[in-house]
Amino acid sequence: MTDVADETTARVGVTASPATSSPQTVVTGRASARPVAPAPGGRRGTGSALRKRLEIAFFVAPALLLFLFFVVVPIIRAIQLSAYRWKGYGPLVDFVGFKNYVSVLQNDVFIGALQHNLIIVVASIAIQLPLGLAIALLLNRKMWGQGILRTIIFVPYVLAEVIAGVVWLQLLQPKYGVIDTVLDAVGINGPEQGFLGTPQYALWTVIVVLTWKYLGLAVILFLAGLQSVPEELYEASQIDGASWWQTQRKITIPLLGPTIRTWAFLSMIGSLQLFDMVWILTGGGPANATTTMATFLINEGTKRQNYGIAGAASVILFVVALVLALLYQRFILRRDIQDPALRKKAKA
């Protein structure tokens, strides 16, 4: 029971009086020293083996069945569909092998969509990382209204993409929307068809809206990471005479590494799946300037009933996501796994 008491003190220690740094470190050290290994479950052993199995089955089965039925089966179905020409009714008879894949990969609209997805992946990280870091460092300083600021910055993230999209669609109305009007007032003429209606601006406009929507997530995660940087490091660097900026650059940002790398991974997977915002803002247009892989496959599947093509496109989407995820894991996340000392320090 001492353990429980300690846990409670640890929680209270952090939430109520985080200012007292030394007890916190002691508790933290103790907490990470305690093995988080799974509890030895079957120690009662004899004769109850069957009972234990039944218990396991009883507990795991509902989740596992739901998952298999509504996630695994549809994914296998998508792979199956991708090998047929099928219009949505009748049996699957028209087996075409890899023809759907060939036709998807030769389709300029799909290749364009893939490029848009990749641009969005890179742009999201390249824009949100520095902005998010800057805002997180800014909000991590002592200032009035800090709590409210943190709440506000997170608001766009909580809104549905559709709702945010509809509001931005109104703001971006050509000529009469507030954005065009304000730009007009400072002497910039927006494009005739509006920013979303002009092929050369549309994708970047979508990226701006996405930045607005998702920057808050980066900021909140970075802030959380910042709070776990041990205070001793700040004190030490102050004693050594480091400036604020030096401290951030040499201590804070490197220690945020694991948080940043995981955030970037999530951001990448999200960008590859992007659908809602594009569907609301442009529907993939104008002239396919903003299609994504997801809008492509929804278009083929539900509007044109080309289920085989949609199946092939979704398999390609998955393979792209998987390959990028594996590469990322291999070359970037590996550092975190390889260097547990640093990881621990950053998390402590």
Tokens 């998010």 appear where? Answer: 132
Cα–Cα–Cα angle for 230, 234, 237, nearest 5°?
135
Candidate list 40, 90, 91, 187; residue touching other proteins; CB under 8 A: 40
75/102 with CB nearer other proteins: 75
Residues 122-151 that bind other proteins (CB under 8 A): 135, 138-147, 149-151
200/322 with CB nearer other proteins: 322
Stretch that binds other proteins, among 54-62, 92-100, 106-114, 115-123 (CB under 8 A): 54-62
Stretch that binds other proteins, among 10-18, 96-104, 113-121, 187-195 (CB under 8 A): 10-18
Rounded distance between C-alpha atoms, residue 275 and residue 292, angstroms: 7
Q: How far apart are the first and last CA of the chain?
A: 24
Local structure of 53: helix, strand or coil: helix
Residue 84, beta-bridge partner list? 95
**String of contacts with other proteins for each residue 199-218, x by CB under 8 A:** -------------x--xxx-
Distance of CA 231 to the CA centre of its chain: 29
Please tell me whether residue 236 binds other proteins under the rule CB under 8 A. no
Please tell me whether residue 327 binds other proteins under the rule CB under 8 A. no
Please tell me whether residue 37 binds other proteins under the rule CB under 8 A. yes
**String of contacts with other proteins for each residue 278-297, x by CB under 8 A:** -xx------------xx--x
Distances (CA, A) of 248 to 21, 237, 251, 344: 20, 10, 6, 19
Distance of CA 219 to the CA centre of its chain: 13
Instruction: State the DSSP string of 195-262.
Output: TTTSHHHHHHHHHHHHHHHHHHHHHHHHHHHHHTS-HHHHHHHHHTT--HHHHIIIIIHHHTHHHHHH
How many helices (H) and strands (E) are present in the chain, helices listed first? 19, 0
Please tell me whether residue 93 binds other proteins under the rule CB under 8 A. no
Q: How far is the CB of 203 from other proteins (least distance, A)?
A: 19
Please tell me whether residue 55 binds other proteins under the rule CB under 8 A. yes
Residues 151-180 that bind other proteins (CB under 8 A): 151-156, 158-164, 166-171, 173, 176-178
What is the identity of the amino acid at 58?
Answer: F
Q: How far is the CB of 327 from other proteins (least distance, A)?
A: 13
**String of contacts with other proteins for each residue 95-114, x by CB under 8 A:** --------------------
